[in-house]
Amino acid sequence: MTDDLFDRDDEVRAWMRALAAIPVDDGPPPDGQQLWLKAELLKQWDAQRRTVAPIERAEPIQVTIGLVGVVALLATLWEYAPGPNLTLVFATILSLMLIVGVAAITLRQS
Amino acid sequence: MDEQAFVSFYAGTVRPLRAYVARTLGDLTQVDDIVQESYLKLLRMAAPPDDPAELRPLLFRIASNLMTDEWRRTRRDSRVADAHGSAPAERPGDMALKLDMIRMFQQLTPQQRQMMWLAYVEGADHREIGAALGLREGSVRVLLHRARRKLASLLQTAASPGRAHD
């Protein structure tokens, strides 16, 4: 049986050739120049992403440092405040809300 | 590679590559995407080979990897029925025969189809097939032999339906 199958190698070869001759496509292939342009655009995009990647990675760190600084400044100013009054409380709450908002936006984007 | 060189390379390889992908993948809806992605990956490589003779095997290797990814992703059987719309209008007898051939080829495993195509249509040797499919040369020798034996058995069965082999 195995020998018989070995003998059929020519038949397999001819059959594969016939299979390869069956047309696949019903239309012309896409234009090579368009593909080239697309690849060039993608390469530019890749290069841009590589350039921007360190900046994007550092962005949350920058925002965190900024927020910590703002909170520290707020705490320091609060110590020097003459006494609690409505304007000061309102400004503090507003500042804290802004800090939380910025932190939430940054975390969502990263 | 400059634009002119690519266009020339593309013109010489797109049809063989489409045939390879279509016949081994079985699902014609994915063929053009995989073919296009293969060229784009080749062009976006950081250091593509300068030698044009190395580009064609590399292109087929990229396409083979993409097909493997597709099989892993979908885990579905190839659908030969999709091939109906691909061939130009011709006599019903010829069409049926060709569809039978495509169906028979789909009875091989995806890897066997890739090997058989690369070996018999592309004329690749064991080393080149191994490079394209990520296999060792010795493994290719054994696996290709099995694939050939299975196809021969299918051909024999088709020729004499009463006898089952393999």
CATH of B90-166, one of 3.40.228.10, 3.40.50.150, 1.10.10.10, 2.60.40.290: 1.10.10.10
Minimal Cβ distance to B152: which of A5, A25, A43:
A5
Tokens standing for residue A26: 């019903």
Q: Mutation test of the interface with chain A: which of B1, B27, B36, B117, choosing the one with the most A Cβ atoms within 10 A?
A: B36
In chain B, list all ranges with CATH 1.10.10.10: 90-166
Q: Does a structural domain hold residue A23?
A: no
**Whole-complex ipTM:** 0.70
Q: Does a structural domain hold residue A20?
A: no
Range among A58-62, B32-36, B71-75 with highest mean pLDDT value: B32-36
Q: Are A46 and B105 a contacting pair at CB < 8 A?
A: no
Q: How far is A13 from chain B (nearest CA, A)?
A: 6
Which residues of chain B neighbour A23 with C-beta distances below 8 Å? 86-88
**Does B102 lie at the interface with A, CB-CB under 8 angstroms?**
yes
Which residue segment(s) compose the domain that A93 sits in? 29-109
Total tally of structural domains belonging to chain A:
1
pLDDT of residue A26: 62
CB-count burial class (<10 Å; 0-12, 13-18, 19+) for A88: middle
- Pairwise CA distance, residues B162 & B144, whole Å: 27
Q: Does a structural domain hold residue A21?
A: no
For residue range A43-96, list pLDDT tens digits in order.
Answer: 999 899 999 999 888 888 888 888 888 888 888 887 887 777 788 888 888 888
Q: What is the DSSP string of chain B?
A: --HHHHHHHHHHHHHHHHHHHHHHH--GGGHHHHHHHHHHHHHT-SS--S-HHHHHHHHHHHHHHHHHHHHHHH-----GGGGGGTSPS--HHHHHHHHHHHHHHHTS-HHHHHHHIIIIIS---HHHHHHHHT--HHHHHHHHHHHHHHHHHHHHHHHSTT----
- The pLDDT confidence band at residue B92, using thresholds 50, 70 and 90, is low
- Stronger pLDDT, B148 or B29, i.e. the higher one: B148
Residue given tokens 């990647």 in the structure block: A53
pLDDT at A5 over 70: no
Q: Are B40 and A9 a contacting pair at CB < 8 A?
A: no
Mean pLDDT of B40-66: 86
pLDDT of residue B70: 85
Q: Does a structural domain hold residue A11?
A: no
Do the Cβ atoms of B166 and B112 come closer than 8 Å? no
Q: Does a structural domain hold residue A39?
A: yes
Q: Are B151 and A24 a contacting pair at CB < 8 A?
A: no
Enclosing H/E stretch for A87: helix A86-109
What CATH class does B1-79 carry?
Answer: mainly alpha
* % of chain B surpassing 70 pLDDT: 84
In chain B, list all ranges with CATH 1.10.1740: 1-79
Q: Does a structural domain hold residue A92?
A: yes
Q: Does a structural domain hold residue A33?
A: yes
State residue A15 phi and psi, 5-degree precision: -65, -40
